[in-house]
């Protein structure tokens, strides 16, 4: 009974699990926020002058080189040292706390930062050696919906990290890499250098999207954390500044929503257009793989290049019906094709079959040659086999003083080549006259009989 009461008392002391309180505690970012410190940190990072200006120049140069050689590691290294976030965070902060003075300061430094970046990348890419349009550069000439999502998530992560006012360098470095502000501004300079203003406009648009959404994320988080507005002595001026800041924030927000919506629609258009092309390919229509400009969302048109057959009016009608099914009824379809080259395709197929037959013939011929080479090798080995029994019997008949004879092959080298020498070892009767003369004749006879010069006869 006593144990039961003690157990009941322990259960009453244990706190009951409250999911709502736990989740609130888990995701709460208001506690521990240093508002004054965060504001000061952001303001201190706005200015682009002196050492920060030179660091920006060097980082832009490194990023341009990385883009030119398509080295992701070099580009990431440049992003880690580039002081690009300061003015953008300053814009978001100043709008959030109605600080027009800081807003002017941030916009001036943001303009200076963009000017320095463009001039540096323009000068680098003005050198003819570095004007190749690499995949890393082309990837930054057109914004994508995912770039917007990355900018939003990166901006939120960065301002939440800064609001804690702790040493969170890993978070700041990670956001600098993820949002990728440097590659687009470098690509814009590349576009100017080679006279491709479409590259310049696309890259600058991508940079603007990243910057706007980072500033917007800063604005939203600081408003959520209820950072205090800047107070002025003149209340009328304070109200006027607040209205200006609110209008700016509203314009940025509306512009961001419009940009996001436009990218979503472009993504949907591109996906449907690709589905249309893939459907035609599955039906046996030969279409050259699309270029970046074949799916033109701005002009609502799709361009396909057909080869191998003449497109009939029936085909066009069928394809327009397919566009309607894919909710692309108002999309203009531009069909490009040359003359009917079905005969060329047939000739190509014949050449392909002939090539396959030739490859098969060559393979069979090589196999036959290999077999013949193996047979020749075996015959040569047999040819070089010494008929020792017959030679020894002939030697016994010709040279009566010969008591015994043995035979072996000796392999020697002078480190330049390897020789195989036939060696005969002989044994003679001591009672036989002129055995030395017979020994010399035996050596000459063996060389003549075997038709070899590298032969040795030894006396045992």
| Residue 264 belongs to a domain | no
Which CATH number covers residue 449?
A: 3.30.300
Compute the distance between CA of residue 198 and CA of residue 187 in angstroms, rounded to an integer. 11
Predicted local confidence at residue 141, as pLDDT: 77
Q: Are 295 and 270 in contact (CB under 8 A)?
A: yes
pLDDT at 215 over 70: yes
Segment 119-143 mean pLDDT:
85
Domain count, the chain: 4
Segment 354-378 mean pLDDT:
80
Assess whether 190 and 60 both reside in one domain.
yes
Predicted local confidence at residue 123, as pLDDT: 93
Predicted local confidence at residue 15, as pLDDT: 53
Assess whether 70 and 154 both reside in one domain.
yes
Segment 318-347 mean pLDDT:
73
| Residue 36 belongs to a domain | yes
404 vs 379, residue with greater confidence:
404
Assess whether 200 and 66 both reside in one domain.
yes
Range of 296's domain?
Answer: 271-340
341 vs 363, residue with greater confidence:
363
> What pLDDT, in 10s, does the model give residues 383-424?
556 677 788 888 888 887 788 888 887 877 777 777 778 888
Segment 26-32 mean pLDDT:
70
Q: How many CB atoms lie within 10 A of CB 416?
A: 5
Least confident interval from 145-154, 193-202, 402-411: 145-154
Measured over the CA atoms of residue 340, residue 342, residue 344 and residue 345, the dihedral's sign is positive
Per-residue pLDDT band at 217 (split at 50, 70, 90): confident
Q: How many CB atoms lie within 10 A of CB 25?
A: 10
Least confident interval from 57-61, 200-204, 440-444: 440-444
Element of type H or E holding 323: helix 313-325
Least confident interval from 29-33, 80-84, 399-403: 29-33
Assess whether 153 and 128 both reside in one domain.
yes
| Residue 174 belongs to a domain | yes
Assess whether 201 and 59 both reside in one domain.
yes
pLDDT at 17 over 70: no
Regarding pTM above 0.85, the answer is: no
Assess whether 120 and 148 both reside in one domain.
yes
| Residue 182 belongs to a domain | yes
Q: What is the mean pLDDT of the chain?
A: 77
Predicted local confidence at residue 119, as pLDDT: 93
| Residue 23 belongs to a domain | no
Predicted local confidence at residue 77, as pLDDT: 81
Assess whether 379 and 435 both reside in one domain.
no
Which CATH number covers residue 288?
A: 3.30.70
pLDDT at 170 over 60: no
| Residue 257 belongs to a domain | no
- For the ranges 141-150, 161-170, 392-401, the maximum mean pLDDT occurs at 392-401
Predicted local confidence at residue 307, as pLDDT: 72
- From 323, 340, 357, the end of a domain falls on 340
Angle of helix 100-125 versus helix 51-68 axis, rounded to 10: 40
| Residue 168 belongs to a domain | yes
Candidates 197, 174, 184, 209; CA nearest to 64 is: 184
Assess whether 286 and 348 both reside in one domain.
no
DSSP label at residue 128: G
Instruction: Report the Cα 294 to chain-centroid distance in Å.
Output: 24
The phi, psi pair for 180, rounded to 5°, reads: 50, 60
Predicted local confidence at residue 175, as pLDDT: 58
* The two three-digit tokens of residue 415, written as one number: 């480190």
pLDDT at 220 over 80: yes
Which CATH number covers residue 58?
A: 1.20.1080
Segment 143-147 mean pLDDT:
70
| Residue 394 belongs to a domain | yes
Assess whether 40 and 147 both reside in one domain.
yes
pLDDT at 116 over 80: yes
> What pLDDT, in 10s, does the model give residues 447-456?
888 777 778 8
pLDDT at 14 over 90: no
Assess whether 138 and 214 both reside in one domain.
yes
Assess whether 156 and 101 both reside in one domain.
yes
Assess whether 206 and 69 both reside in one domain.
yes
């Amino acid at each position: 009974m006593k144990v039961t009461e003690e157990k009941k008392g322990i259960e009453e002391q244990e706190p009951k699990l409250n999911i709502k309180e736990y989740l609130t505690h888990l995701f709460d970012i208001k506690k521990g926020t240093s508002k004054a410190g965060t504001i000061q940190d952001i303001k201190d990072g706005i200015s682009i002058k002196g050492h920060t200006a030179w660091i920006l120049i060097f980082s832009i140069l490194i990023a341009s080189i990385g883009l030119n050689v398509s080295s992701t590691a070099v580009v990431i290294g440049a992003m880690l040292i580039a002081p690009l976030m300061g003015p953008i965070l300053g814009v978001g902060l100043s709008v959030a706390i109605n600080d027009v003075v800081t807003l002017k300061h941030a916009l001036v430094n943001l303009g200076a930062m963009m000017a320095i970046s463009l001039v540096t990348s323009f000068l680098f890419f003005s050198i003819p050696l570095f004007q190749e349009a690499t995949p890393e550069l082309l990837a930054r000439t057109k914004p994508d919906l995912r770039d917007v999502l990355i900018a939003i998530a990166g901006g939120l992560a960065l301002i939440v990290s800064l609001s804690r006012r702790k040493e969170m360098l890993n978070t700041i470095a990670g956001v600098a890499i993820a949002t990728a502000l440097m590659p687009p501004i470098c690509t814009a300079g590349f576009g100017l250098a080679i006279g491709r203003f479409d590259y310049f406009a696309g890259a600058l648009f991508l940079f603007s999207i990243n910057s706007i959404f980072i500033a917007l994320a800063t604005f939203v988080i600081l408003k959520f954390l209820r950072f205090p507005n800047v107070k002025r002595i003149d209340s009328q001026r304070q109200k006027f500044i607040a209205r200006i800041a609110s209008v700016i924030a509203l314009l940025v927000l509306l512009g961001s929503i419009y940009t996001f919506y436009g990218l979503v629609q472009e993504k949907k258009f591109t996906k449907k257009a690709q589905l249309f092309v893939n459907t035609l390919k599955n039906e046996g229509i030969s279409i050259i793989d699309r270029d970046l400009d074949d799916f033109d969302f701005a002009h609502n048109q799709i361009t396909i290049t057909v080869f191998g057959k003449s497109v009939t009016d029936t085909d066009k009608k069928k394809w327009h019906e397919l566009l309607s099914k894919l909710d692309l009824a108002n999309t203009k379809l531009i069909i490009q094709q040359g003359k009917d080259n079905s005969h060329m395709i047939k000739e190509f197929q014949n050449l392909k079959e002939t090539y396959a037959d030739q490859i098969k013939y060559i393979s069979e011929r090589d196999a036959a040659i290999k077999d013949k080479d193996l047979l020749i090798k075996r015959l040569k080995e047999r040819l070089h086999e010494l008929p020792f029994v017959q030679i020894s019997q002939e030697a016994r008949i010709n040279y009566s003083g010969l008591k015994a004879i043995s035979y072996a092959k000796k392999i020697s080298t002078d480190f330049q080549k390897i020789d195989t020498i036939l060696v005969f070892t002989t044994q003679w009767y001591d009672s036989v006259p002129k055995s030395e003369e017979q020994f010399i004749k035996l050596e000459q006879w063996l060389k003549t009989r075997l038709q070899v010069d590298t032969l040795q006869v030894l006396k045992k």
